[in-house]
Amino acid sequence: MKIKTRLLILNALFIAGIIGTTFIVEYDQAQQADIRQTVETGINIKAELFRSNSMTKELLLTSNMKTGYKVFQDQYKQFEQLLDQFFRSDQFQKLVLSNAAGKRQAEAMTNIADYAKRKVGEVEEKLDALMTRYPAYFPGLYAAYQFYGDVDLNVASNEVTNLTIYLGDSFERTLTQLIDYLNQQAAAVQLRIRIISRSSIGLLLVVVLILSLGMIRKLRNQLEGLHKSMQILATGDFSRRLVVKGNDELAGLAKAMNLFIDEFSSVIDEVKDIAVESADLKSEVSSATNESAASVHQMSANISSMSQQIKDLVDNLSTSDNATRVITDGIRALAEKIEDQSSAVTQSSSSIEEMTASIENVTKIANQRQESSELLAEITTRGGEQVDETNKLVEESVADVKEILEVIEIINNVASQTNLLSMNAAIEAAHAGEAGRGFAVVAEEIRKLAESTNENSKRIRKTITTIADRINQVLEASNESRDSYQRIEKETRENSKAMAEIASTMKELSLGSNEIMNAMTSLSSTTQDIQENSEQISQNTVKVSTALSSITMIGDQVRDGIQEIESGAKDISTAMTHVNDLNEKSSNSIDQLHHQVERFKTACENEDDASELLEGEVERVCVYDDNEIEKPDSE
């Protein structure tokens, strides 16, 4: 039997065990769930019985009989339905009705339920009749009896009371006994189900384990035999072959392994030959790679030098291109400035022409002003002479005024004496009395005349003094005028000289402006020539800049190409170095390989090793003895 078939059978057993176990567990859980549901239903029935009994008691104490009666009917109907479902359930049939004791419990419960149903029917008949009798107001039976005093109400209340006692005593006790019996039966059934399910699972696991161990033991024996064979092969002895027995996968593996050993033995023989040849070629390859590495290194150094020189060339070209651009910009700026200068020369020529005309006009005006200044100087001289004559007259007037003041002083003295004499005459006239009265009048008149003369002399003196002051002021002003005339004459003379100098200078400026005009004409012509030459130079520099840009681009491309060549040379140098290292490692590996393959044995060394030949194999191939390897069990 093949291992695959064994494993499939083993897996099938495991799967069957798992499925069986799962089925048993699911069945166990389902049965236990049904039992728990039945038990819970019994507990719910008991709770519904309590609620029904409570609603029955409510009929005695409710404030509205109509509502309480409706609730009582609904509750009892629900209780009957739940009890009927409980009796009809499968688990109740299995747990209770499957034995005599259970049947007795069920019959007792059925009888009590029927009796309770009859009693409830009687109570409903009485309550229906009473509710028809008292439709307007019908409270609980106790309150209704107290309110109406009807004996039927008392009878109904007694029946309801008996019903509540019956439900709370006999019915509840019987139902409790039935539920307890149901719990006992459920516990016994659950225990029995658990025992059966666990026993089934254990038995199934034991069967699967026994079958699995048998298959595993047989497979282990085969694997151990194969393992021992592989251990001998692991020593490097490929002159022997694995023993092939049976028709399973391990036998196929042994056959495939024998074929692999044949092929591998051939490969080992070839590797031995190649290792010998590689050892001979090792030194030649090493020498060639060393020379190649040196050549590549030298070439890389030369390329690096060329790369640096080309880089310097590109940098110089870039610098020249930038300088040419700067020169071009400078020439353009110079051309603009020359253009501005040409415009300025033209404007300057016009300005110089205007200036020459102005100079001639100024020269003419200066000559005229010189003549006017000379005339003004003569007039000023004459005015100064007239001022001197006026000063002399004023000085004479001052002397006359002084004489007049002296005369006035004399008149004042005479007036003072006259006044004094008049006073003496008046005194004497007073002494003469009546005879001197006429003399007194004359003396009074003389005194008045003296006073009037004194006052007039004062006024005249004051006036003369004022006139003298004004004459002095006129004299001072005249002296100042004389000084002014002298200064004017001096300035006029100086102005005349200055005008003469200005006229002379204007003549020189006129000559200079004519020379400047000639120079500006020459400068304008030279500027025109420079402008034309600068345009030509600008065009040439643009061409040079364009050529330098093209050369720079070519230099950049050459530099990039040299850099790529340099990078490639470095990569080649690195690769050659790596090849050298790999060659060295390869040499070491070849030595190690030669050493390793020498330990493999690919043929029988003597006839004693070939105790048994496989069918179809060559004679040099050996197989294991029965004593060396534990033969696998055959199928």
| DSSP string over 300-349 | HHHHHHHHHHHHHHHHHHHHHHHHHHHHHHHHHHHHHHHHHHHHHHHHHH
Handedness of CA 95, 101, 103, 105 (dihedral sign): negative
Confidence of residue 49 (pLDDT cuts 50, 70, 90): confident
Confidence of residue 616 (pLDDT cuts 50, 70, 90): very low
Handedness of CA 100, 106, 107, 112 (dihedral sign): positive
The two structure tokens encoding residue 350 = 């016009």
Handedness of CA 134, 139, 145, 149 (dihedral sign): negative
Report the alpha-carbon angle 251-257-261, nearest 5. 150
Most confident of the ranges 29-33, 147-151, 222-226, 390-394: 147-151
Most confident of the ranges 83-87, 533-537, 609-613: 83-87
Predicted confidence (pLDDT) at residue 150 exceeds the cutoff of 80: yes
> Own/partner pairs for 181-185, CB < 8 Å, 24+ apart?
181/96, 181/101, 181/102, 181/105, 182/38, 182/39, 182/42, 182/92, 182/95, 182/96, 183/39, 185/95, 185/96, 185/102
Give φ, ψ of 237 to 5 degrees: -90, 95
Name residue 258's amino acid.
Answer: N
Q: Measured between alpha carbons, how far is 468 from 463 in angstroms, rounded to an integer?
A: 8
Cβ-based neighbours of 314, under 8 Å, separated by 6 or more: 552, 555, 556, 558, 559
Q: Measured between alpha carbons, how far is 19 from 205 in angstroms, rounded to an integer?
A: 12
Q: Which of 46, 181, 34 is nearest to 107 (CA)?
A: 181
Report the alpha-carbon angle 63-69-71, nearest 5. 100
Name residue 235's amino acid.
Answer: T
Place of tokens 């004194």: 454
Predicted confidence (pLDDT) at residue 476 exceeds the cutoff of 60: yes
Confidence of residue 288 (pLDDT cuts 50, 70, 90): low
DSSP 3-state of 537: helix
Weakest-pLDDT range from 42-56, 117-131, 169-183: 169-183
Q: Which of 129, 128, 153, 158 is nearest to 143 (CA)?
A: 153
DSSP state for residue 613 in the 8-state scheme: P
Predicted confidence (pLDDT) at residue 627 exceeds the cutoff of 60: no
Predicted confidence (pLDDT) at residue 44 exceeds the cutoff of 80: yes
Predicted confidence (pLDDT) at residue 28 exceeds the cutoff of 70: no
Mean pLDDT of 443-447: 78
Percent of the chain with pLDDT over 70: 77
Confidence of residue 635 (pLDDT cuts 50, 70, 90): very low
* In the chain, domain spans: 263-598
The per-residue pLDDT for 629 is 40
DSSP state for residue 169 in the 8-state scheme: I
Place of tokens 């393992």: 227
As its CATH architecture, domain 263-598 has Orthogonal Bundle (1.10)
The per-residue pLDDT for 423 is 79
DSSP 3-state of 601: strand
Of 146 and 221, more confident: 146
Q: Measured between alpha carbons, how far is 61 from 129 in angstroms, rounded to an integer?
A: 19
Of 45 and 439, more confident: 45
Of 279 and 156, more confident: 156
Mean pLDDT of 229-235: 72
Confidence of residue 461 (pLDDT cuts 50, 70, 90): confident
Predicted confidence (pLDDT) at residue 52 exceeds the cutoff of 80: yes
Predicted confidence (pLDDT) at residue 293 exceeds the cutoff of 70: no
